[in-house]
Chains A and B, each alone.
Chain A
Amino acid sequence: MIAIVDYKMGNLRSVENVLKRLGAEFTVTEQADVIRAADRVLLPGVGNAKEAMENLNRAGLVQVIRSLRRPVLGICVGMQVMCRHSEEGDADCIGLFDARVKRFQPAEGLKVPHMGWNKIGNLESKLFKGIDGGEWVYFVHSYYPELCPDTIATTTHGAMFSAALKYENFYGTQFHPEKSGDVGERIIANFLKL
């Protein structure tokens, strides 16, 4: 069973839909015991990282997530909260990935939020099995995780940043695989097979 963690950070429907299309069984939950017992855990999320941390703390899920030993995938803000710290609201985060989350600085020709399809490269994980560097995926974010030893994919918007991270059994993507067409579905399918 796959657990989609519901911590009140946006709409989970698109993640549910991609799992349905892949024929995977899942449950949407905020219950610690269900999350602990799951084979795979998905931590989606859009919105504000500080609010996301507050919600996880309130639900008592920070230690639960840290203690998981099966594959966990954070998406967008769900990945950012697994980093060390976010500039968004000066939030201390869970600290699984050794990255800080910084704000894009708007510049000539550089729009913020970083919104739309961009290429991923430097792919270094089974998460990207069957996917070539240079594939397009969909991003929507104003804050980004810096490059770090846990980086397993990079993208450039002004500066190069971590498009995906991995530490032990924890994975995260800054982009939205659930909105990235067939490439994104492949990444989710790979995650389910890890």
Chain B
Amino acid sequence: MVAKRIIPCLDVKEGRTVKGVNFVDLRDVGDAVELGQYYARSGADELVYLDISATREGRNTFTRLVERIADGINIPFTVGGGISSLEDASRLLDAGADKISINSAAIANPSLIDAIAARYGSQFVVVAIDARQGDDGVWRATTHGGSRDSDKELFSWAQEAESRGAGEILFTSMNHDGTRSGYPCQTFARLSECLSIPIIASGGAGSVADIAEVLTAGKADAALAASIFHFGEITVGELKTELKKLNIDVRI
């Protein structure tokens, strides 16, 4: 059986990692390459680096950083943030990224998924969906870090992304992100059942139990987290040991 994956997420601004709670209130938590190497040593299965730089200079810094990450890390890593064209994807592939994550740009231009998957393969394309459940109970994808609603309904959008060539779906509940109150596991399970590609669960982990639940009841294939690792509350290794005790198949 393929192991359930634990994926630390590192937000990067000007070459440094930061973590936002609900995408604001940033705090600097260290050097991106060193932190990645630390996570790899402590048992992370993959890493995700999200570029939250807003400027062209920041983007260029990030590309050079991706080259350093590729040189220094021997596990797979995904990069995301501001990728809006095939050229952006090519630049990051050439820099050494194993996968790219696209979000707002895929909603604005769904054929971007087809273009990148056709050029570099589905394994290279993660479609990230930040969705919010409205008062009507419907989950709708948001864009621009959750600040704008789109007309895409979560499940149909995820299925469309799969059919266009996405290799994985990274789903974040904007109702739960940063709250540390756990994941919406029924929603995750339904999402997992309506897709044949892997699901990465993001946003909301406050405890080992939350992560265990989304990997079992939530049927997620991987869990992505930031704060619980960045602030040293639990190491990746400790988390995986706890998950193993709960009979969840993890790589140790």
Contact = CB atoms under 8 A, between A and B. Distances in A.
A48 B71 contact: no
A117 B240 CA distance: 14
Interface stretch (A7-15, A34-42, A93-101): A7-15
A187 to B, nearest CB: 12
A10 B120 contact: yes
A118 interface: yes
Nearest to B92: A11
A185 interface: yes
A1 to B, nearest CB: 21
A17 interface: yes
Given A11-B94, A116-B198, A136-B3, A46 B75 contact: no
Given A14-B70, A48-B121, A117 B197 contact: no
A78 to B, nearest CB: 13
Nearest to A107: B196
A112 B197 contact: yes
Given A111-B197, A113-B197, A116-B45, A142 B98 contact: no
A111 B94 CA distance: 28
Most buried by B among A13, A136, A185: A13
A184 B98 CA distance: 16
Interface string A112-143: 11111110000000000000000010111110
B36 interface: no
A191 B185 CA distance: 44
Contacts of A48: 121
A142 B110 CA distance: 22
Contact of B40 (A115, A116, A181): A181
Interface residues of A, number: 36
Interface residues of B, number: 31
A190 to B, nearest CB: 16
Most buried by A among B70, B168, B222, B251: B251
A182 B198 CA distance: 25
Contact of B71 (A20, A106, A111, A115): A20
B225 to A, nearest CB: 16
A179 interface: yes
Contact of A46 (B2, B3, B96, B120): B120
B75 A138 contact: yes
A116 B251 CA distance: 10
Given A11-B93, A136-B3, A117 B120 contact: no
Contact of B168 (A115, A117, A136, A181): A115
A185 B123 contact: no
B227 interface: no
Closest 4 pairs (CB-CB, A-B)? A106-B196, A13-B96, A140-B123, A136-B251
Interface of B: 1-3, 5, 40, 45-46, 70-71, 74-76, 93-98, 120-124, 167-168, 196-198, 221-222, 251
Interface of A: 10-11, 13-14, 17-18, 20-21, 46-48, 106, 111-118, 136, 138-142, 156-157, 176, 178-182, 184-185
